[in-house]
Amino acid sequence: MENAERVRDFLIEEAHWQGSRAELTDDLPLIENRVIDSMALLRLVAWLEAEFVIEIGDADVVPGNFGTIERITGLIQTKLAGNAGA
């Protein structure tokens, strides 16, 4: 399963997305559309770290990285690429 689908599944199951799966597109603004709030963001960060075995620092937890599923998957790829070089 691709990373975007894994994140989408998390948002549906754990953040209790009320809309349809089709509405939860890769470019839907998550914060503005209240898909995630501050508590859901904390759960998402913890899940991402465990699921992808990456470390997300405080400086990474900004709207620019968590504004859309596309941005979240970009962050995942950046962190995984950084781990590959370690």
Q: pTM higher than 0.85 for the full model? A: yes
Neighbours of 45 (CB within 10 A): 19
Q: pLDDT per residue over 13-36, tens digit each? A: 999 999 999 999 999 999 999 999
DSSP structure string for 24-80? S-TTS-TTTTTS--HHHHHHHHHHHHHHHT----GGG-SHHHHSSHHHHHHHHHHHH
What's the first-to-final CA gap in the chain, in angstroms?
Answer: 25
